[in-house]
Structure formats: structure tokens, C-alpha cells
Amino acid sequence: MRSILPPWTDSDPTLHARLGELIDPERKVLAALERILPLSGKRIADVGTGIGHYPMLLARRTARTYGIESDPELLAAARERAGEAHQPNIRIVEGDLRRLPLRDAAVDVVLTSQIEPDDSYRPAIAEALRVLRPNGRLIVIGYYGRDDVAALLEPEVVAHALDATQRRTGWWLRNGFKIKVVHARLDLRDDASAHELLPRLYGDRGRAYLMRAHRPMLELKLGLYHRPAA
């Protein structure tokens, strides 16, 4: 999940598949999405889909889910997984948030973790709103902070997340988004996986964290930043 992964994270489909198992294993993000907008019969675009994690989880609930990805290696893996799943309502297509391969008012939900709380992302927001139907929702999965995972992240990343979610003054609120906080978890119960993946993702900070006493399930607070179609 991009919101808690450093920018140097490998475009390795195997790594992304393993992270999909460790991040939010109880699928609380899916439950929160349903509370924002019931998904049954809806058309959804997951932008920056990676290996198609969310399209696979959403396929049985939705009328059509588009997984949109620009990285060639991840795109190929997503297409392979979609083919093996035999889910006719999944479409994996090449594209990115700057220019979505969808017509105007094509979907009910745009789901992405590729929008950051920064003014430079306003064109991306406008592009996402373009493809939404009336009463649709743009939903950004981002890092909320104030949790155990903060110890793994660079201090400036945590500070930026806290500043962006301040009541009345935070970037998300100033730009018309509402915030739903999801109390998810990062599963470190498999000690071998933890010792392999945390240093790979977070370097010395990850190694130092594992050397201390720590819980096998880390609190991870994600924000679902959502706003209606224009």
C-alpha cells in the first residue's frame, strides 16, 4: 500500500503480493469503503492497482472494476492474476492518474493511493472527478498516523500526515475531502517475514525496530479521504 511504503519500494510482484497479505489482513479498508458508498453493482476504477490487489477483493461485490497501472511489471502481473481468477467483471488496463483511460462519467468510485496532500496533485484530483458519475466518490487511501507504524517511517512523512489531517486547517479538509479513519493492522506474526521485509522496506529504521520488543500486530491507522463528484 503506497501510503506507508517508501518511494524506493521495488516493483516486484512477489513483494507486492506478500505485502497485500500483511497489510490490513482483516480487510477493514473494504468494510470502510462500504460505509462510504455501498459497492454492490457499482463501477470502480482502482488507479495504481499494482498487482490488482483491490480489484481481486472487490470483484464479487461490483458490477465492473478497472485496475489501472503504469508500471509494466506490475501491470503484467495484474493481468495474469485477473486471468487466473476468471472474474469477467475485472478489466486491467494501462494508464495513470494524469490521464485516465476512461470516458467522462464512467465509474462510481475512483480508488487510489496516488494522491498526496499537496497542491501539485490538484490536476490529478480534477482528472479523477472527470470520470466519476453523479453521486460518485473519489476515495484516496492515505496514511493517517498516530500509530505504531510511525516508528518505521521517516519523521517528515509522519509530520506531513499529521499536518494534512488537522481539524479545519488540514490539506484534505481545505480541499473538500472528508476523513474516515480505518484502524487497521500490520501483521508481523511470521517472524521470518518480518525480519526479511521490514529492513528491505525501511532500512536501518526497520532493523532497529525488530531489535526492540514489539507486538506481533502493529496498529496502522489509514485515512480514507473522500469527496463527492463535482
165-221 pLDDT per residue, tens: 998 899 999 999 999 999 999 999 999 999 999 999 999 999 999 998 888 999 999
Residue % of the chain over a pLDDT of 90? 87
Residue % of the chain over a pLDDT of 70? 98
For residue range 72-104, list pLDDT tens digits in order. 999 999 999 999 988 899 999 999 999 999 999
Stretch 92-119: mean pLDDT: 96
Domains and CATH numbers, the chain: 2-228 (3.40.50.150)
Rg (CA), the chain: 17
Nearest to 81 by CA among 63, 57, 113: 57
pTM for the model stands at 0.95
Predicted confidence at residue 6, as pLDDT, reads 75
